[in-house]
Chains A and B, each alone.
Chain A
Amino acid sequence: MKKEIITLGHGSGAGLTRKLISEIFDKNFHLPTLDDGVQIENRTVVTTDAHVVQPIFFPGGDIGKLSITGTVNDVAMTGAIPKYILITYIIEEGFKIDDLRKITESVQKAAIDAGVKIIAGDTKVVEKGKADGIYITTTGIGFLPEKVELSSQKIEVGDKIIVNGNLGDHTVAIINARQNLELDPAPKSDCASLNHLVQFMLKNGDVHFLRDATRGGVATILNEVSDDTGFGIIIDEEALPISENVEAVCGLLGLDALYMANEGKLVSFISQKDENIIDKMKTHKSGKNSAIIGEVTNEFQGVYLRTSIGGLRPLLMLESDPLPRIC
């Protein structure tokens, strides 16, 4: 038997990541849930995240903003109101102080926008060559309002699946910045905190379950929900909100926006009696392009996509990072 080693695919958020969690972490930690945020005592929710991105500055954000919005969103998806953040910087020797200043100002601005406070932190500097510029880890703390309980177990047949806007923007912004694709106008990351939108949604409808569609994208979340609940999910390709920029890059590189990372998009499962919540979501600044993309069914298991020409195809969990094709 060959000795297995960690590859980049193990950090993809897809099948290989799940395998790592179930075979190694869960075996030791006996994690109560695979959700990003977890409720501890007195309706307190905590979450932790590590942020690694290249380039560090990209259209629509930077690693500082991302580290706050990502953590705020992980807390928010439980229905909790995020309040506090602890932050750790791991910095490579030789990193420019000016860039550190810019990143930190961006952290502070994102925290103010989301209504959270940075309450503690740590800094480590590692030797040149031992890190890729800068890594940031964050821990978020929030509080769950009375009567708010979101869980995949609340999902019912007939639930509408709603996303709050265009898919794939973050990945395409990063690919464009990293690979000098020179798209004009340069696509912007959707990097944003969603806690205000979540509270707005909770006030305006019967929300059963929420998840932010980061690594692995919408398709991974839908597969996780289907596995978890045993229900089937059907998605309507015509309804997917995808910008022309993203569609063009997907066509060019053989990528699929449903598997791309987003940094300001949530997937929500809403009771069918409250599907009109979408009209209200469209009035919120974080939900202008919201769309009902599908629904939950008990007629089959797994996740399927109805194509715009009437074909039906399975939407499977990817095993690893999607790779751009050669031609």
Chain B
Amino acid sequence: MLNNKKFRDPALIKKIVDDLNNWKKPIKIMEVCGSHTMAIGHWGIRKLLPPSIQLISGPGCPVCVTPSSLIDELIKLKGVTIATFGDLIRVPGKEETLEQARAKGLDIKLIYSPLEALKLAEKKQVVFVGIGFETTIPGIAQTIFLAAKQKQFNFSVFPAFKLVPPALDALLSTEDIELDGFLLPGHVSVIIGSESYDLLPEKFGIGGVVTGFEPLDILRAVKLLTNQISKDNPQIINEYNRVVDSSGNKIAKQIIEEILQVEDALWRGIGWIPDSGMGIKEKYAEFDAAKKYNITLKDEEGNTGCRCADVLKGKIIPPECPLFEKVCTPAHPIGPCMVSSEGSCAAYYKYER
């Protein structure tokens, strides 16, 4: 039974919107998570807010921050089935996408759960593409654990996991980033807990609200941010406390701790960020596709004129990219932000034109 109606109550929404429409000082709030970007577009929230409150999208779409060299390396794999979540298949590599490579014979299976990939491995060599943030990492770690238990050596995972707090640290440490607050990702926070963002007020003097994906969640979070901005009292508030607690999910953290370790990670459009990803521990090396197939990722995005890097950092909004809507469309994405349904450019193309 879905019980989302109360988070869509038009009367309550109107009350908050009317209140927010009195806000005069120009502020920039970044939604870190792609699902928030989609929800904001889906509900038409940007149009309900005054021009003084600017919502901009951040680096929280896992597909968007996956480097093109990962696609190129996957396409080179021979004699294996590549198992991946759906929206990765249209991400452009240097020459082509996984979808185009599939049309030429690359064996790709779209799956909805990593357990499906493990099942596939009963019949053939399978490489599961391990992309995603803290939300998806525990499920994949658990699958590696099961593969080890079953001694299913046909199965391996290419680890391209990303962690949100180190990315925010790196983002805010970059010069000329001007942000006044964050909408923090609800799903990620279920795993890591709201206290994981304490560095935002403590190190950078910026507040954030952990929030859900219903319109009232998002609008309440914006309201809470304007309150703390007006009082100059940056802090982390957990608006999504019906799902998220301060310390996160202990069991999920345990399985991650067992299988994975923090490593530097390559972010498309941003580059290498220290300690912002996870690799597979030596104990489970037989399930590490990077080792099994000797894959290393290179930071060599071509110069396409695409400004996804600036979009991911919140420096520009998608329509400010010269390629947006002209040569870069969901049918022919040049940059990764146009590929995934959660990418900022795709969301703007779909909802905000």
Contact = CB atoms under 8 A, between A and B. Distances in A.
A8 interface: yes
A151 interface: no
Nearest to A310: B10
B154 interface: no
Interface string B16-37: 0000000000000000001100
Given A309-B8, A310-B10, A314-B351, A325 B99 contact: no
A313 B340 CA distance: 19
A146 to B, nearest CB: 44
A5 B100 CA distance: 8
Interface in A293-327: 307-314, 316, 318-320, 322-327
Contacts of A308: 8, 10
B42 interface: yes
B86 A9 contact: no
B63 A326 contact: yes
A244 B74 CA distance: 38
Given A7-B100, A244-B2, A314-B351, A324 B112 contact: yes
Contacts of B47: 311-312
Q: What is the size category of the interface that chain A forms with chain B?
A: 20 to 34
B1 A180 contact: no
Contact of A327 (B10, B13, B44, B135): B135
Contacts of B330: 318-320
A323 B87 contact: yes
B44 A326 contact: no
A206 interface: no
A253 interface: yes
B159 to A, nearest CB: 15
Contacts of A316: 349-350
Contacts of B102: 7-8
A325 B341 contact: yes
Given A244-B2, A248-B2, A313 B111 contact: no
A111 to B, nearest CB: 34
A310 B1 CA distance: 24
A15 B331 contact: yes
Interface string B336-349: 00001110000001
A247 B41 CA distance: 18
A121 interface: no
B55 to A, nearest CB: 13
A327 B87 contact: no
Instruction: Report whether over half of chain A's contact residues are helix, strand or loop; otherwise say mixed.
Output: loop
Contact of B35 (A8, A307, A327): A327
Contacts of B104: 5
A73 to B, nearest CB: 28
Nearest to A245: B2
A179 interface: yes
Interface string B74-114: 00000000000111111000000001101110000011110
B290 interface: no
Given A179-B111, A314-B351, A6 B103 contact: yes
Contacts of B279: none
Nearest to A9: B99
A242 to B, nearest CB: 10
Interface string A18-31: 00000000000000
Nearest to B104: A5
Given A326-B132, A327-B135, A7 B44 contact: no
A318 B90 CA distance: 14
Contacts of A8: 99, 102-103
Contacts of A309: 8, 10, 13, 43-44, 48, 215
Interface string A178-218: 01110000000000000000000000000000000000000
A310 B42 contact: no
Nearest to B95: A2
Contact of A310 (B34, B48, B63, B133): B48
B133 to A, nearest CB: 7
Nearest to B115: A180
Contacts of A248: 2
Given A5-B103, A7-B99, A312-B47, A323 B90 contact: yes
B188 to A, nearest CB: 8
29 contacts: A7-B100, A7-B103, A8-B99, A244-B1, A247-B2, A307-B44, A308-B10, A309-B44, A310-B10, A310-B44, A310-B48, A311-B47, A311-B48, A312-B44, A312-B47, A313-B42, A314-B350, A314-B353, A318-B330, A319-B330, A320-B90, A325-B34, A325-B87, A325-B341, A325-B342, A326-B62, A326-B63, A326-B85, A326-B132
Interface of B: 1-2, 8, 10, 13-14, 34-35, 38, 41-45, 47-48, 62-63, 85-90, 99-100, 102-104, 110-113, 116, 131-133, 135-136, 187, 215, 329-331, 340-342, 349-351, 353
Given A320-B331, A324-B110, A326-B62, 4 more contacts: A179-B112, A310-B14, A319-B330, A323-B86
Give 3 nearest A-B pairs by CB, closest first. A311-B44, A319-B331, A323-B86
